[in-house]
Every structure is written in C-alpha cells, then in structure tokens.
Amino acid sequence: MGVRELGHIVLYVQSAQRSARFYRDVLGWHQIIPEEGAPVGPVAAFSGGRTHHELLLIEVGPGAAPIPSGPRLGMYHFGLRVGDSDEDLKDALDRVVAAGATVLGTSDHTVTHSLYIADPDGNEVELYIDVPGVDWRADPQLFATPTKALVL
C-alpha cells in the first residue's frame, strides 16, 4: 500500500449552514451537496473537481465542545491553494477581510506564500500560492527553510 494523495477533509461544525456560507461564499469553493439553491441540512460537501468531494462538513450543533486554544493534539490546519501569484493571495486577503473572517497571520515558507485564517468554528485554514520559479521537486530541502515574514 502507498498513499497517492490526500483525498478529502471532514470537519465537525456547529452549524453546517454557517460553515457552508463561509466555504462557499467567502472562499469560493463549489458546493455539491446539497445542490445549489437547496437549503443546507446537517451536511454540506464541496469539490474543486479533482475528486468526488474534498471537504465534508457535518453539523454537530451548538452543544459541541469548542476547539481548545494553544498546543493540543489533532489537526493544526489544512491548506488550500488559491492561485498562482502574490496578487491572487492579496485578493484572497481582501475577500476574507471584507467578509469579517479572522486573519491569523501570513508567512513566507520559500516554497509557498501563505495567509492563515480561522473558519467560523475556529479551524485554521492556510490559503496559499506556490511561489513561482521555486522548484521544490528538485530540492525538497527548500520545504525546511526557516519561515520568513510576508507582507501582503
């Protein structure tokens, strides 16, 4: 056996409708379930066309325990490539700020330029672009380069 690719992410969310609005309307992800225009029920799924779904949201309601702050076990964040240039990343920043999303920071990772935000439930999401001209396949050690500040 060998892993060939990351297939999908499933998140428990307080409100599938609220989270679907964020991933669909703010981030621009294509919602496939429920179909466009249908009311969001206890689940919502999104796909960019690479596979049947890349993100599934499952509603667990307002009584669910929140994500604890600080160091903890479990997922830190997941990354979504949002374009091919710093201009695309700046556009993403403008869009999330206009929507009132929480911006957590930015980073230059040499191979990527990244914007970190929080979704409505506090899940950290990295919006990034691959830096043009950086060939990480030829030099995988570039991934381990110390993080630098990024101003968008």
Q: Which domains does the chain have, with CATH numbers?
A: 9-59 (3.30.720), 77-144 (3.10.180.10)
Tokens of 116: 């970190």
pTM: 0.94
Please, which residues have CB within 8 angstroms of residue 51's CB and are 6 or more apart in sequence?
7, 8
Taking the chain (152 residues) in consecutive chunks of 10 residues, what is each chunk's mean pLDDT? 94 97 96 87 93 96 93 94 97 98 98 98 97 94 94 92
- pLDDT reported for residue 11: 98
- The residue whose two tokens read 């990480």 is 136
Are 101 and 118 in contact by the 8 Å Cβ rule? The answer is yes
